[in-house]
Chains A and B, each alone.
Chain A
Amino acid sequence: MLFPTFQTAGSGLGLFRTWMDAVSDNMANLDTVRPTSEAAFQARFVVANAIGNGQEAMTGGPAGAQVTGISFGDANGRLMHDPSNPLADADGMVRFPDIDMGEQMTQLMIAQRGYQANLAVIDRAKDAYQQALSIGR
């Protein structure tokens, strides 16, 4: 592998972008109402894992992180009393998703910062490689 840093940082970029996608999905469905007979919209959580066993930095292979799956939040959601809602049951209850907007906002910021950090790594690595190429010039 010629420039393993790029592969490693690129895997981080992919991970954080997936996280941002998941957060945007959760945000878009903040007010998705379901009748009590159905499961509520479940929050999406990105499950990530490290690539390799940690020896890659020594051997020059690509390391990094990858998305290994998506897990889902509580299917019960929050039961709300909203008799005017056309989806309300006989008791006037509906199911809202159990998603906290503040928490999602925080996750979005973490994901964005993580993406930026990986971009910074790529930038610095590129500078370092270019400076190495200027040896003896």
Chain B
Amino acid sequence: MAISAIAGAAASLPTVPTLPATGQIGWLGDVGTAGSAGTATGTVAAGAAGAVSGTQSFGQTLVKALDGLQGTQTRADGLAVQAATGDLTNVHDYMIAATEASLATELTVAVRNKAVEAFNQIMNMGV
């Protein structure tokens, strides 16, 4: 829930320049449906008007990544429930899912920090 809220907020940052949609940009892949992306995409598309078709705005990329992160976390949560109820057959399955979720979170936070840094640098530019 909290992540969806951040996704919505992030998507409404049209000031950040658009990035080309290479395969590597959507680093979390598309896990789950982009529920929050529906409304958010409109805002982003408006901000990134004139972008070449086939490119993806930074906001869209971020929303996609956050949805992927949500999927990773949900998977780890499901396995944690299985562990608690005794349904977990492979201990390593949960540990791997938890490590993946933790790394994906770190990655998303790192990207977010970089984006905020870039935004602040632009905002502090003397005109």
On whether the beta carbons of A10 and B92 are closer than 8 Å, the reply is yes
Given A14-B90, A14-B92, A122-B99 contact (CB < 8 Å):
yes
Closest B residue to A132 by beta carbon equals B107
Q: Are B29 and A1 in contact (CB under 8 A)?
A: yes
A133 with B107: in contact, given A3-B100, A17-B90, A122-B96 (CB under 8 Å)? yes
Contact B93 A133 (CB under 8 A): no
Give the distance in Å from the alpha carbon of A13 to the alpha carbon of B106 in the complex.
Answer: 25
Chain B contact residues, CB within 8 Å of chain A: 27-29, 68, 72, 90, 92-93, 96, 99-100, 103-104, 106-107, 110, 114
Specify the chain A residue showing the minimal Cβ separation from B95.
A122
Say what secondary structure dominates the interface of chain B. Answer: helix
> Contact: B106 with A133, CB < 8 Å?
yes
Interface class of chain A by DSSP: helix
> Which residues of B sit under 8 angstroms from A13, Cβ to Cβ?
90, 92, 96
Residue of A nearest to B65 (CB): A2
A129 to B96, CA, bound (A): 14
Question: Would A2 and B28 be within 8 Å (CB), given that A10-B93, A133-B106, A133-B107 are in contact?
Answer: yes
Known: A2-B27, A3-B103. 11 other contacts (CB 8 A): A1-B29, A2-B100, A7-B96, A13-B90, A17-B90, A119-B92, A122-B96, A126-B99, A129-B107, A130-B106, A133-B110
